[in-house]
Amino acid sequence: MPIELPTDLTPELVPLSWLIGTWEGAGRLGEGEGEDAHFVQRVEFTHDSTPYLSYRAESWLSDEKGNKLRPLATEQGYWGLDRPLEDSDGGPGLIPGDIVPTLRTADDVEALRAPEGGFNIVVNIAHPRGVCELYYGSINGPRIELATDMVVRGSNSKEFSAATRMFGLVNGQLFWRWDVAAGGTALAAHASAALTKEA
């Protein structure tokens, strides 16, 4: 399916716009070798009038043919450009921002381009059982690299201290890899998948 970019986005979302839509596909846990488990996943990136993408991912353990066996995980969050806070921005809570977007034109967004050529982004992702990840990273065309700045865990959550995520658009498919430091271990392969855009 060709990538179609929405025409009604706030300019701030244009660098992230190729993510918008529903993606589905299959992946493997760990290094994806030998007996590593299979899973299927559905990921949605949506937008409203705010300068953030809403993100939701649902995953199910599966057999090698992609038949769902049982629910595996869900996560949801927000993706956006990492930029200085302006007086016109809303929050915290329900404090309203200006009705006109902070970044109004393509030139406003272009002024945020990093020397390496892409844009700095911030992503926060929440999981059930009291775990939240705050990532900083970059998006450079069809490539995204993220690393946690902080992982917040509830008192009854499993140990989880750091993570990195990589995403890339290759021949119309969204490939991703997630490395995690958990249970007292260093960063190691946690999961990877290849997703195809459905809508």
Q: What is the CATH classification number for the domain harbouring 149?
A: 2.40.128.20
Which pLDDT tens digit goes with each residue over 47-98?
A: 987 899 999 999 999 999 999 999 999 999 999 999 999 988 989 999 998 8
Please give the pLDDT value at position 2. Answer: 54
Residue 114 covered by a domain: yes
Q: Which residues of the chain have pLDDT under 70?
A: 1-7
Residue 150 covered by a domain: yes
Q: Count of domains in the chain?
A: 1
Give this prediction's pTM. 0.93
Nearest to 37 by CA among 192, 194, 180, 187: 192
Residue 169 covered by a domain: yes
65 is in an annotated binding site: no
Binning the chain into helix, strand and coil, the percentages to the nearest 5 are 5, 50, 40
Residue 3 covered by a domain: no
Chain position carrying tokens 């690393």: 147
Task: Give residue 33's domain range.
Answer: 9-195
Residues 6+ positions from 19 with CB-CB distance below 8 Å: 45, 53, 79, 174
Please give the pLDDT value at position 4. Answer: 59
- The one-letter code for the residue type at 105 is T
Residue 185 covered by a domain: yes
- The DSSP code sequence of 11-32 is GGGGGGGGG-EEEEEEEEETTS
68 is in an annotated binding site: no
CA–CA gap between residue 24 and residue 142 (Å, rounded): 18
Residue 4 covered by a domain: no
Residue 40 covered by a domain: yes
Residue 110 covered by a domain: yes
**Between vectors from CA 194 to CA 188 and to CA 50, what angle results, nearest 5°?**
90
Average pLDDT of the chain?
93
